[in-house]
Chains A and B, each alone.
With several copies, the nearest count.
Chain A
């Protein structure tokens, strides 16, 4: 059994179908692929329309943190592989921010691993979003919800 683990941090957009094809290429032991696409919304709830987000990351640490969580997901669930692509730079409303893909023989593992990876990415991966509106720009505040979501996967 081989495993396909792909992690990329990039300015460029990505194509979900191409990522699915890469993750499932030339194997027939995959029955389930879950994808989560994070998309730039036109409002962060502050009232003002978002004209763009700019994503900053900590090069080196971001890759290391994501890889560590990817390894944990591969160990906790019977996955055949996973892909994480996270964009950085300036992103407009409606554009992709990031995608997580998980592949497994069965759906439960794929769903759980995708949720786990998303919760950890939101709370622990060193990325920061700055929001531009007509009135200026400001850093988006972290949500305590995201810490709570990540904590539910902690082992006792």
Chain B
């Protein structure tokens, strides 16, 4: 499963993308944030306030309770500031 990061989430983690293989117990977007947070201080820092983290699966915005099964690309990023 490919995971991509943007803006300060990318900067805190120190990479723009990676491939991860979470255990089967990680079912939802929220679960994945929790699991990623355990992978090191940089992840814990990036995800320290989960409620501000936005997520997308295959280019579509999703909520923390969205199931990740079948996802090709999951993105994590801060609230958007375009326009």
Contacts and interface: CB of A to CB of B under 8 A. Distances in A.
A associates with B: yes
Interface string B41-64: 000000000000000100111000
Given A56-B7, A64-B59, A126-B56, A140 B81 contact: yes
Interface residues of B, number: 16
Interface string A106-129: 010000000000100111111111
B20 interface: no
B59 A125 contact: no
Interface stretch (B21-29, B30-38, B71-79): B71-79
CB-based closest 4 A-B pairs? A127-B82, A142-B79, A128-B7, A61-B59
A98 B75 contact: no
25 contacts: A38-B83, A55-B82, A56-B6, A56-B7, A58-B56, A58-B59, A65-B59, A86-B82, A86-B83, A97-B83, A107-B83, A121-B82, A121-B83, A122-B81, A122-B83, A124-B61, A125-B80, A125-B83, A128-B78, A128-B82, A129-B82, A130-B7, A139-B7, A139-B8, A146-B83
Interface string A85-115: 0100000000001100000000100000000
B4 interface: yes
Nearest to B52: A142
Contacts of B81: 122, 127-129, 139-142
Contacts of A65: 59, 61
A109 to B, nearest CB: 15
Interface of B: 4, 6-8, 56, 59-61, 75, 77-83
A86 B59 CA distance: 18
Nearest to A86: B82
A154 to B, nearest CB: 14
B82 A122 contact: yes
A57 interface: yes
A60 interface: yes
B13 to A, nearest CB: 14
A136 B66 CA distance: 37
Contacts of A57: 82
A126 B83 contact: no
Given A64-B60, A126-B77, A130-B7, 18 more contacts: A55-B82, A57-B82, A86-B82, A97-B83, A122-B83, A124-B61, A124-B80, A125-B83, A126-B82, A127-B81, A128-B7, A128-B78, A128-B81, A129-B82, A139-B8, A141-B81, A142-B78, A146-B83
